[in-house]
Structure formats: C-alpha cells, structure tokens
Amino acid sequence: SALIDEFGLHKNDKLSLIFSNLNPSGFSLVPQTKRFDVKARFTSGLAFYDKAYMYTDVDALKKVLGMPKNPNYDGVHVYSDNAFKDVEKIKSYLKDDYAVVGWWEQNKNFFSALELEKRALFI
C-alpha cells in the first residue's frame, strides 16, 4: 500500500520493475525489465513492510527470472482477511507434512522489540 501511494499508482495502472539479471542488447548488457499491472492493495499495518514488499503472479516472476516451470518452493504466501484463525485451519489441514508460519511468527523478534519499546515509553 505504501509503495502504491509513494509511486502514485491506482488499480489497473502499469508498473515497470527492473531486475538485476542482464540481457545482451547490441554491444552492451541492459537490465531486464517487466511491466506488471496493479491489481490490488495489501496493507500489513507496518510501514516498513508496506514499503518493502509487493506481491505478483508466480508464473510471471518465474518467466522474468528464468526459473524452471516447476521449481522447488521454499514457501507459499497466502492472503487472508483473518490470518490468525486461518493459519490454524491450514496447520490442521496440512498436519506435520509442511511448516505453516504466520508473518507475525516470522518476525517475532521485531514485535518483541516493539513491545519492549512501547512499555519503555510508558515508564
């Protein structure tokens, strides 16, 4: 959401991303670019997340990065209106075959530091 605001984008606008892999062009190498359509906004409630992350179609990204069609994934991100409840549903469905971790669990240290800072402000 913060990225959309920062770049002044709206739904269905196009955004060009520049990737670090280089393509030959004449006598030089140029970074690869890809245009993406803005389809939705995601707001985590944390400004540094909202300014650092964006989500896109996996197939489009694989094509840009030259990845095989069926690579091994190290994770899948799921959007949910009720993440705390739905993560438990996913855990019970997948059993112990996969690790299921909420974004708040991945950033436990950050939230602990934030809580400590909030407490220190009230002292």
Per residue of the chain (123 residues), what is the pLDDT tens digit? 678 888 899 999 999 988 888 888 888 888 888 898 999 888 877 777 788 888 888 788 888 878 777 766 667 778 888 888 998 999 899 888 788 888 888 888 887 887 887 788 776
Domain ranges of the chain: 1-71, 73-123
- The CA distance from 118 to 120, in Å, is 5
- The CA distance from 76 to 29, in Å, is 33
What is the pLDDT, as a whole number, of residue 113?
A: 80
> What are the two backbone dihedrals, phi and then psi, of residue 58, each rounded to the nearest 5 degrees?
-60, -45
The torsion defined by the Cα of 25, 31, 35 and 40, in degrees rounded to 10, comes to 170
Entry pTM: 0.52
HEC sequence for 50-84:
HHHCCCCCHHHHHHHHCCCCCCCCCCCCCCCCCHH
What is the length of the chain?
Answer: 123
- Determine contact, residues 83/102, Cβ cutoff 8 Å: yes
What is the pLDDT, as a whole number, of residue 3?
A: 82
What is the pLDDT, as a whole number, of residue 73?
A: 67
